[in-house]
Amino acid sequence: MQRLRVYDIYREIYVEPSRQAVELALEYGYLPYMVQRYIDMLGPREAVELLEAFEKPVRQVVRANTLLVEPGELKTRLESLGFRLEEIPWAPGSFWVAEAPRSPSIGSTHEYLKGFYYVHRDATSLIPVLLLLGDGYKGDVLDACAAPGGKATFTAQILKERGGGTVYANDYVLYRLKSLIGHVLRMKLDNIVVTWGNAAELPGRVGRRFKRILLDAPCSGEGRISVDPGRKTRTSILDLAIMVKREVELLGSLIDMLDEEGVIAYSTCSIAPEENEYVVAKILESRRDVEVADPGPLPFNHSRWLTSYRSMEYPRELEKCIRIWPHRHGLFGFTTCLLKRVGA
C-alpha cells in the first residue's frame, strides 16, 4: 500500500472547534477538538449525554474460567463473600459485578488466585472474541497485541472447550507481557504460546499464516475516559495522526498474515472515527484482497460505524462494523470490525 505521511493524515483529520465545543470542553475538561468531534458525530444534545456518561463508573466483569469451575458455582462462591453478580445475557459464563464488599477486592479472592476467573474492566473486551469465534471455529488464533491477556485467555478457553486450537499471544511491552504470562499460569491454560515482538514485524518473522487474527490496536483509549480521565487531554491532533498512521500500517501488516478467507478482528477502545472508519477505509482503498465481513445478528445493543463524517465519505460496507457508545449502551466506548481476506 502507498506509504502514509503523518502530515497528510493530520491535514485530513484536522478539526477546528466551534465556540460551543470550546465552552463544553472547558466545562468538562477536554481538548476542544475532541468535543467538536462528538458534536459532529452525535449532535449537540447527544454529545452532552456522552460527556455525562464518561463521568459515571462502568461495572467490572467477572468471566468464569469454565475449564476449572462452573459459572453457577463461581457465582455462589463470590456472592458468599459479599459480591453481587448479574449474568451478562449475551456472554454466557460472564457476570457484571453489581456490588462489592470493602474486602476482599474482586482481584484478591482465593477463587481469583486459583484461576477460576478473569476480571475485565468492562464487558466490551469480550465482543471481538465472540465475533471472531462465533462460527464455531476451533483452529489456531494469533492475538497480535495480547497483553494483559483478557482476550487471549478468553480465546484459549473457548478453543480448549471446542477441542482444538492454540492461541499465539504476542506483545511488545515487557511489563504488560509479564502480566499476560501471569494470567496464563494462574488460569492453567496450556494452549497459549506467548511471544515477544513488534506486531508490525510479525509477517517477516513468522513463517506461517492464520485463519483468525485478533488485533486490539494500540490507540488513544478515548473510550475509557470513565476510568482514566487523563485521556481527556492526553492526545493532541498531531498525536492522533501519529497513532492513525501506526494503526493503518499495523492492520495492513497483519492482513498479510491471513489465509485466504481468513478473518481479522480489528478493535480499539476508542470512539474516534479517525482510529476506526478512517483506518479501515484506508485499508480498503489500498487493497483489493480485503472486504468487510458481516458479523450477522448480534445479541447485544450496539451502533454501526459512520459512512460519512465531516467532509469525508467512507465505504458503505463499514455499516457492518460495530461501535459501542457509553451513553447509549452503558459500556466503555469501543469498536470492532471484521475484515476477511479474499484472493490471498
User: What is the set of active-site residues?
Assistant: 269
How many CB atoms neighbour CB 327 within 10 A? 17
The answer to whether 175 touches 205, Cβ cutoff 8 Å, is: no
Distance CA 71, CA 63 (A): 8
The answer to whether 193 touches 166, Cβ cutoff 8 Å, is: yes
Which phi and psi angles does 289 have, rounded to 5°? -105, 20
Residue type, 69: V
Q: For the chain, give the number of residues.
A: 344
On the question of a cis peptide bond just before residue 104, with omega within 30 degrees of 0, the verdict is yes
Which phi and psi angles does 311 have, rounded to 5°? -95, 5
The answer to whether 255 touches 264, Cβ cutoff 8 Å, is: yes
The answer to whether 223 touches 332, Cβ cutoff 8 Å, is: yes
Which phi and psi angles does 81 have, rounded to 5°? -90, -5
The CB-based long-range contact list for 194-197 (8 Å cut-off, 24+ gap) reads 194/146, 194/169, 194/170, 195/168, 195/169, 195/170, 196/170, 196/171, 196/172, 197/170, 197/172
Q: Which of 336, 318, 278 is nearest to 123 (CA)?
A: 336
How many CB atoms neighbour CB 197 within 10 A? 13
Distance CA 266, CA 159 (A): 20
